[in-house]
């Protein structure tokens, strides 16, 4: 039986009738997989997917850490430490950015790089929030820690830029040339 291009089973599923789980004998192959799923089933399914995803991420992280010689039990994941690593990474690449943009004055390079990095930090943060949301993570403590971490990364990076601009504008010779490496946190 076909109704508006749907088999009886598909029409029952679409209409949400109690017969949705009954599969019509003359239905097309694969229709048996279409059943009505309640919100509790959907929530449980999403939880299973989230748990499996997190397990896979953990396994991949452990493997990468082992290959790089890191002990994950000793990695500082505080907002201060993580924001420091983010900012230091970005600061450490400023010299390369200058070399790739030789036509820019140092001030132009600083301001352009600041916009680029702040945008990248925000993009990474928003992507992380999206992943957490898709995994069903809505713990206020985790979200507050993430927001604090990103704000601290912005503050540390922007402080570097502002200090370099002040030094440059005041004629301080240490402001000339590539960014000096900063200690890692």
Asked if 30 contacts 36 with a C-beta cutoff of 8 angstroms, the reply is: no
* DSSP secondary structure of 117-157: HHHHHHHHHHHHHHHHHHTT---HHHHHHHHHHHHHHHHHH
**pLDDT score recorded for residue 26:** 44
Q: State residue 11's pLDDT score.
A: 41
| Residue whose pair of structure tokens reads 């789980």 in the numeric block | 21
Q: For 135-178, what is each residue's pLDDT tens digit?
A: 788 889 999 999 999 999 999 999 999 999 999 999 875 544 44
Check residue 19 and give its pLDDT: 41
pLDDT of residue 8: 42
DSSP track, 14-82: HHT-GGGGSPPTTPPTTGGG-----HHHHHHHHHHHHHHHHHHHHHHHHHHHHHHT--GGG---SHHHH
Find the distance separating the first CA and the last CA of the chain, reported in whole Å: 68
Q: How many residues does the chain have?
A: 185
Whole-number pLDDT of residue 115: 98
Distance of CA 97 to the CA centre of its chain: 24
Ranges of the chain whose pLDDT falls below 50? 1-27, 175-185
For residues 110 and 116, give the distance between their C-alpha atoms in angstroms, rounded to a whole number: 10
Supply the pLDDT for residue 48: 83
pTM score above 0.85: no
Domain boundaries defined on the chain: 2-33, 38-75, 76-185
Residue 15: per-residue pLDDT:
42
- We find that the CATH architecture of domain 76-185 is Orthogonal Bundle (1.10)
């Amino acid at each position: 039986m076909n109704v508006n291009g749907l088999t009886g089973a598909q029409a029952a599923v679409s209409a949400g009738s109690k017969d949705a789980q009954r599969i019509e004998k003359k239905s097309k192959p694969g229709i048996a997989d279409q059943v009505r799923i309640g919100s509790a089933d959907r929530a449980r399914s999403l939880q299973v997917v989230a748990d499996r995803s997190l397990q896979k991420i953990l396994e991949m992280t452990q493997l990468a850490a082992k290959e790089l010689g890191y002990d994950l039990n000793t990695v500082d994941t505080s907002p201060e430490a993580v924001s420091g690593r983010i900012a230091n990474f970005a600061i450490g690449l400023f010299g390369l950015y200058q070399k790739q943009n030789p036509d820019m004055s140092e001030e132009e390079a600083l301001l352009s790089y600041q916009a680029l990095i702040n945008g990248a930090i925000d993009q990474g943060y928003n992507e992380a929030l999206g992943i957490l949301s898709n995994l069903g993570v809505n713990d206020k403590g985790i979200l507050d820690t993430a927001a604090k971490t990103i704000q601290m990364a912005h503050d540390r990076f922007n402080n570097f830029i502002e200090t370099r601009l002040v030094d440059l504008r005041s004629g301080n010779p240490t402001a000339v040339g590539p960014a000096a490496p900063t200690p890692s946190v």
